[in-house]
Structure 1
Amino acid sequence: MPNSHASAALEGATRLVDAVATSRLPTRHGEFTAHVYHSRRDGVEHVALVAGEVTGHEAVLVRLHSECLTGDVFGSLRCDCGEQLDMALERIAKKGTGVLLYLRGQEGRGIGLAHKIQAYALQDQGMDTVDANVAQGLPIDSRSYEAAAQILQDLGIKSVRLMSNNPKKLAALEAAGVPVVERLVHQVVPNAENRHYLETKRVRMGHMLAPDTHLNYRSHNE
């Protein structure tokens, strides 16, 4: 269960989330405990999948994963989200302890499902993932991680080892009072469909990814 002392400590700040449900969740990667949190800001429900004992621990293995219906559920090859989700769960299960925060309401870096599909159509016309958002009058990335930080604090986590390539996630957790003691590279091998997408994230969005020329390229038909 979420840590009561940590929960009390959050009362001094503007509380953004409330723990509303907890249950055992067996998965193909291993057994987790699912904690559902309700956002006071927008009503969205986030999920923390916890393996092992993390309350009061330092350097806990953590992944902040933004909801991606197309990648996580349908196995879309246009992004790396589904593979990153599986990789994170596998790494946590292998370690035996850790947390995956599944942050809902962050589809398409915050633009929503319909706008993301429209962005895909624009990308098929030659735009990259950044310009496709801008062409719709939308932000490149409107995600916030304050709720994620409060969930980690509510679970009683002292510091994290963060599986991420996104420097904004590291900065957001640090700013919210969750120390990041180590960043772990969380990169998948590109395929024919997401190769340009990943390069755009590296070059135009500052994601800490190895250049595509340093990776083993594979076709999505393999």
Structure 2
Amino acid sequence: MIESDGAHRDSARSTGAERATTVQLSTEHGVFRAVGYWDHNRRDEQIALVYGDIEGDDALTRVHSECLTGDTFGSNHCECGDQLSAALRAIVGEGRGVLIYLRGHEGRGIGLLAKLRAMQLQAEGLDTVEANIALGLPVDARNYQVAAEILHDLGVRSVRLLSNNPRKREALLQHGIKVTEQVPLLTEPREENLVYLRTKRERLGHHLPHLDGGVDQM
């Protein structure tokens, strides 16, 4: 069971993630405990959606990077919205797990406006890596320290990580979270995002074996 918010504040404050509040959140996927955090390092707010008893080992875990265009507006340019829904369904199906929604990760950490500019460059023929570089920005500026701090605060010792990105696994390991398994989170590609997904596989190392057949083979 998760302890009361006050029991964690002193220890969490020293790590940068301070638990602020916990509330029951009913969603189309199931009823979660929404645990809100203040991220002292980034000066931002963060949230974890907890389902069932996750303390201990092997909690099914999704560390989801904020994507306004995909998560909220349903953009077909990326697979983020589909992955968010699929992860919540998987966690509920598992009976226990946690999704950490990381604010400040828009556009792999470059921000919303820069991401929109990068999308325009992609429409003109650059891939997602080339677009960031053309703007003079990092290819991936995300930091996962606060995600590890939240998992520590929630009592999670090890995770089964819902992700196709090996860098997320490496980042959690670096911050003291054991990853016992990396669970694929594959979504059906669309014509609009197939090139984007292939770039993620070929240039960023994402494990996306289902792209080999293209859209027509799915």
Deviation of 1:217 (Å): 3.6
In the alignment, which residue of structure 2 is the partner of 1:40?
Answer: 40
Q: Is the 8 A contact 1:61 1:162 kept in 2?
A: yes
Q: CA RMSD in A?
A: 2.0
Instruction: Say yes or no: does 1:149 pair with 2:144.
Output: no
Deviations 1:97-124 (A, max 9, x none): 1000000110000010001111111001
Deviation of 1:66 (Å): 0.3
Deviations 1:66-93 (A, max 9, x none): 0000000000000000000000000011
TM-score by length of 2: 0.93
Query: Residues 17-36 of structure 1 correspond to what in structure 2 (within 5 A)?
Result: 17-36=17-36
In the alignment, which residue of structure 2 is the partner of 1:104?
Answer: 103
Identity between Structure 1 and Structure 2 (%):
47
Secondary structure class of the residue paired with 1:19: strand
Aligned length: 216
In the alignment, which residue of structure 2 is the partner of 1:207?
Answer: 206
Spell out structure 1 runs of 4+ moving beyond 4 A. Answer: 1-4, 6-11
Q: Is the 8 A contact 1:2 1:19 kept in 2?
A: no
Secondary structure class of the residue paired with 2:15: coil
- Residue range with higher mean Cα deviation, 154-163 or 209-218: 209-218
Q: Is the 8 A contact 1:10 1:150 kept in 2?
A: no
In the alignment, which residue of structure 2 is the partner of 1:121?
Answer: 120
Q: Distance in 2 between matches of 1:202 and 1:208?
A: 6
Q: Which amino acid aligns with 2:42?
A: D
Deviation of 1:203 (Å): 0.3
In the alignment, which residue of structure 2 is the partner of 1:193?
Answer: 192
Alignment gaps of 5+ in structure 2? none
Q: Distance in 2 between matches of 1:152 and 1:79?
A: 27
In the alignment, which residue of structure 1 is the partner of 2:74?
Answer: 75
Q: 1:167 to 1:136 in 2, by over 3 A?
A: same
Deviation of 1:9 (Å): 9.8
Q: Is the 8 A contact 2:9 2:18 kept in 1?
A: no
Deviation of 1:212 (Å): 2.0
Q: Is the 8 A contact 2:128 2:199 kept in 1?
A: yes
Q: 1:19 to 1:104 in 2, by over 3 A?
A: same
Alignment gaps of 5+ in structure 1? none
In the alignment, which residue of structure 2 is the partner of 1:180?
Answer: 179
Q: Distance in 1 between matches of 2:202 and 2:174?
A: 25
Q: Distance in 1 between matches of 2:157 and 2:8?
A: 13
Q: Which amino acid aligns with 1:88?
A: A
Deviation of 1:41 (Å): 1.1
Q: Which amino acid aligns with 1:68?
A: C
Deviation of 1:15 (Å): 1.0
Deviations 1:14-48 (A, max 9, x none): 51110011100000000000001111112111110
Q: 1:123 to 1:31 in 2, by over 3 A?
A: same
